[in-house]
Amino acid sequence: MIKDRQGQVVRELEGQNQLLKKLYSTSIGRCALKILVSPFITHLGGFYMSSPLSKTSISSFIKNNSIDMRQYEEKKYKSYNDFFTRRIKEGKRPFDKSDSILMAPADSKLTYYPINEETILEIKDTKYQLKDLLQDQQLANEYDGGVCLVFRLAVDDYHRYSYVDDGQIVGHKKIKGIFHTVNPIANDYYPIYKMNSREYTVIDSKNFGKMIQMEVGAMMVGKIVNYNHQIASKGKEKGYFEFGGSTVVLIFKKDTVKVDDDIINNSRENVETRVLLGQKIGCKGV
Single-letter code of the amino acid located at 240: Y
**Candidates 79, 197, 205, 246; catalytic one:** 246
Sign of CA dihedral 283, 9, 235, 164: positive
10 Å CB burial of residue 70 (0-12, 13-18, 19+) is exposed
CA distances, 52 to each of 56, 78, 109, 170, 239 (Å):
8, 6, 31, 39, 23
Active site residue 144: no
Active site residue 98: no
**Candidates 107, 136, 165, 260; catalytic one:** 107
CA distances, 216 to each of 141, 260, 276 (Å):
21, 24, 18
Contact 212, 149 (CB under 8 A): no
Radius of gyration of the chain (CA): 18
Catalytic residues: 107, 246
